Amino acid sequence: MKFNALCSDIDGTLLDSHRALSVRTIAAIHRLPASVPVILASSRMPAAMRHLQVELGRPHEPLICFNGGYVLWERNGTEAPEVWTSIYIPLSICQHIVTLAKSTPLHVSLFESDHWYAAGEDSWTLREAGITKVRPTFKALDRVLKDWEEQRKGAHKIMCMGPEADIETMYHTLTETFPDDLHVYRSKSTYLELAPKSISKATGLALVMHKLNIDMQTVIAFGDNYNDIEMLQAVGWGVAVANARDEVKAVAREIAPTHKADGVAITVEKYF
């Protein structure tokens, strides 16, 4: 099989047990021809992805951020990025979620382009900053929402973190209240990630491949979680790592070793 592009999820797929790129993964990507784009697709913000691009030797490839809600290309690093798509969660829904969370122990973070807002530092912001290598801006969320109202903006992503039972309750509340507006998925038992219903990694990747004039059927993609399902179905060869959710493995064309065992690298070595 000949593939003209590679796309991979990050957490639980490309990164190892230390939440880093392994030596083998870096080497495998570095050996790829420059003509084969390597596209990272994640729920992360751009600032939490760029350092991985640099390590992989692909600093100027398009990025699919916030599960496809924000797609951009920094062609050479010296110009402002080309934003190919930017889809917000409507401000009214952001306001509803922030208000709803006030009566719970849940931490709420708001994300917009390269900005991460949190009300204050706590164990959740410390944990997330350690994972993503990005620091939040501490600001009252009501103030953030007020600023967005004036700027006609919304959130590219909202993340709720907290006790499993409260995450479960919030999940059901939001899926019942906004069934046509929000993608609501649990990336972990204590994490709830929210994105606009109209986007996905699949729509983001389709846009990137259209811009690069590459057929989606010539793309190999890797994933592990619910937000990767549509992407793996949309490409020519969807690969789930062995640690993936059962629902993800069910739609994959191939099951690779786990992320801890360099599953992406092993598969890349096999096909390229």
Query: Which of 134, 105, 139 is CA-nearest to residue 120?
Result: 139
- Residue 213: what pLDDT? 98
CA distance 272 to 270: 6
Between helix 263-271 and helix 23-30 the angle, nearest 10°, is 30
Q: Are residues 212 and 252 in the same domain?
A: yes
Q: Are residues 188 and 205 in the same domain?
A: no
Gyration radius (Cα) of the chain, Å? 18
Count of CB atoms situated within 10 Å of the CB of 230: 19
CA distance 7 to 104: 37
What size, in residues, is the chain? Answer: 272
* Domain boundaries, position 257: 5-86+199-271
- Residue 124: what pLDDT? 94
Q: Are residues 46 and 174 in the same domain?
A: no
Q: Are residues 77 and 137 in the same domain?
A: no
Task: Print pLDDT tens along the chain (272 aa).
Answer: 899 999 999 999 999 999 999 999 999 999 999 999 999 999 999 999 999 999 999 999 999 999 999 999 987 766 788 999 999 999 999 999 999 999 999 999 999 999 999 999 999 999 999 989 999 999 999 999 999 999 999 999 999 999 999 999 999 999 999 999 999 989 889 999 999 999 999 999 999 999 999 999 999 999 999 999 999 999 999 999 999 999 999 999 999 999 999 999 999 999 99
CA distance 188 to 183: 15
| pTM (predicted TM-score) | 0.95
Q: In the chain, which ranges are continuous DSSP H helix?
A: 23-30, 50-55, 91-101, 123-132, 141-151, 164-177, 201-212, 229-234, 246-251, 263-271
Q: Are residues 54 and 122 in the same domain?
A: no
Q: Are residues 119 and 185 in the same domain?
A: yes
CA distance 227 to 42: 9
Q: Are residues 131 and 255 in the same domain?
A: no
Q: Which CA distances in Å does 127 have to 16, 79, 133, 214?
A: 17, 32, 10, 38
Which among 196, 215, 250 is the end of a domain?
Answer: 196
How many domains does the chain fold into?
2
CA distance 149 to 24: 46
Q: Are residues 174 and 217 in the same domain?
A: no
CA distance 136 to 147: 17
Q: Are residues 64 and 145 in the same domain?
A: no
Q: Are residues 47 and 65 in the same domain?
A: yes
* CATH code of residue 112: 3.30.1240.10
Q: Are residues 191 and 243 in the same domain?
A: no
* CATH code of residue 49: 3.40.50.1000
Q: Are residues 95 and 191 in the same domain?
A: yes
Which among 155, 177, 196 is the end of a domain?
Answer: 196
